[in-house]
Amino acid sequence: MFLGALRPSSMTISNDTSGQAASLAQNPLRVDAARAIIRAAVRPVAAVEHVALRSALNRVLAVDIVSPIDVPAHDNAAMDGYAFAGAVLSNAGAAAARAPLSLAVVGEARAGHPFERACGPLECVRIMTGAPMPAGCDTVVPQELVTRKDSHVEFDAQNVAPGANCRRAGEDLARGRAALDAGRIVRSADLGLLASLGVAEVPVRRRVRVAFFSTGDELRSVGEPLDAGCVYDSNRYTLYAMLERMNVDVDVLDLGVIRDEPSAIEAALRSAAASADVVLTSGGVSVGDADFTARMTATLGDVAFWQLAMRPGRPLAFGRLSAAAPGSSEGGALFFGLPGNPVAVMVSFYQFVRDALIAMSGANAAGPLQFAAASSTPIKKRPGRTEFLRAVAMRDAAGQWSVTPTPAQGSGVLSSMSRANCFIVLAHEQGDVAAGTPVDIMPFEGLI
Interface contacts to ligand AMP, rule CB under 6 A = 214, 216, 218-219, 231, 233-235, 282-284, 286, 288, 339-342
- Compute the least distance from the CB of residue 290 to Mg ion, in Å: 6
Encoded one letter per residue, x for contact with Mg ion by CB under 5 A and - for no contact, window 384-413 reads ------------------------------
Of 340 and 368, CB closest to Mg ion: 340
| Cβ neighbours for 130, distance < 8 A, ≥ 6 positions apart | 76, 77, 111
Span interacting with Mg ion, options 93-101, 201-209, 276-284, 409-417, rule CB under 5 A: 276-284
C-beta closer to ligand AMP: residue 361 or 416: 416
- The least distance separating ligand AMP from the CB of residue 260, rounded to whole angstroms, comes to 8
3-state class of 34 per DSSP? helix
Out of ligand AMP, Mg ion, none, what residue 406 binds, judged by CB under 5 to 8 A for its kind, is none
Which listed option, ligand AMP, Mg ion, none, makes contact with residue 28 (CB within 5 to 8 Å by class)? none
Q: Which residue of 81, 183, 216, 301 would you call a contact of Mg ion, by CB under 5 A?
A: 216
Query: Whose Cβ is closer to Mg ion: residue 17's or residue 159's?
Result: 17
The amino acid at residue 100 is P
Apex CA 2: angle with CA 310 and CA 295, to 5°?
A: 60
Closest CA to 376 of 359, 360, 355, 392: 392
CB closer to ligand AMP, 346 vs 441 = 346
Number of residues in the chain: 448
Burial of 144 (0-12, 13-18, 19+ CB in 10 A): exposed
Q: Is 114 an interacting residue with respect to Mg ion (CB under 5 A)?
A: no
Contact present, 149 and 19 (Cβ < 8 Å): no
Q: What's the count of helices (H) and strands (E) in the chain, helices before strands?
A: 10, 27
How near is the Cβ of 263 to ligand AMP at its closest, in Å?
18
Residue 293 CB, nearest distance to ligand AMP (Å)? 8
Q: Which CB sits closer to ligand AMP, 319 or 339?
A: 339
- Alpha-carbon distance of 239 to 215, in angstroms, equals 13
Residue type at 307?
Answer: Q
In degrees and rounded to multiples of 5, residue 293 shows phi and psi of -55, -50
What type of residue is 81? G
Whether 207 and 249 have beta carbons less than 8 Å apart is answered as: yes
Q: How far is residue 355 from each of residues 38, 231, 335, 368, measured CA to CA in Å?
A: 9, 30, 14, 9
Q: Which does 242 bind (CB under 5 to 8 A by kind): ligand AMP, Mg ion, none?
A: none
Minimal distance in Å, beta carbon 215 to Mg ion? 6
| Region near Mg ion per CB under 5 A, out of 119-127, 279-287, 398-406, 436-444 | 279-287
Q: Which is nearer to ligand AMP, 43 or 259 (CB)?
A: 259
Yes or no: say if 310 and 423 are a contact pair by the CB < 8 Å rule.
no
CB of 344 to ligand AMP, least distance (A): 8
Beta carbon nearer to Mg ion, 170 or 283: 283
- List the one residue from 86, 283, 315, 342 that touches Mg ion (CB under 5 A): 283
What does each C-alpha distance from 209 to 252, 345, 360 come to in angstroms? 6, 19, 10
Instruction: For the CB of residue 286, give the shortest distance to ligand AMP in the complex, in Å.
Output: 5
341 binds, among Mg ion, ligand AMP, none (CB under 5 to 8 A by kind): ligand AMP
Residue 219 binding: pick among Mg ion, ligand AMP, none (C-beta 5-8 Å cut-off by kind): ligand AMP
Report CA-CA distances (Å) from 345 to 67, 123, 174, 200, 415: 43, 71, 46, 40, 14
For the bound state, the minimum distance from the C-beta of residue 334 to Mg ion, rounded and expressed in Å, comes to: 22
Look at residue 202 and give its three-state secondary structure. Answer: strand
Min CB(281)–ligand AMP separation in Å:
10
Residue 182 to residues 69, 205, 243: CA-CA distances in angstroms? 19, 10, 23
Alpha helices, DSSP H only, in 115-261? Answer: 188-196, 235-244
Interface of this chain with Mg ion, residues 334 to 353, rule: CB under 5 A: 340
Separation CA 321–CA 335 (nearest Å): 6
Residue 286 near which of Mg ion, ligand AMP, none (CB within 5-8 Å, type-dependent): ligand AMP
Question: Which of Mg ion, ligand AMP, none is residue 411 near (CB under 5 to 8 Å by kind)?
Answer: none
Q: What is the DSSP letter of 356?
A: H
* Partner from ligand AMP, Mg ion, none contacting 361, C-beta within 5 to 8 A by type: none
In the bound state with ligand AMP, the residue whose beta carbon lies nearer, of 283 and 368, is: 283
CB atoms within 10 A of CB 178: 13
Q: How far is the CB of 439 from ligand AMP (least distance, A)?
A: 28
User: What is the contact surface with Mg ion in residues (CB under 5 A)?
Assistant: 216, 283-284, 340
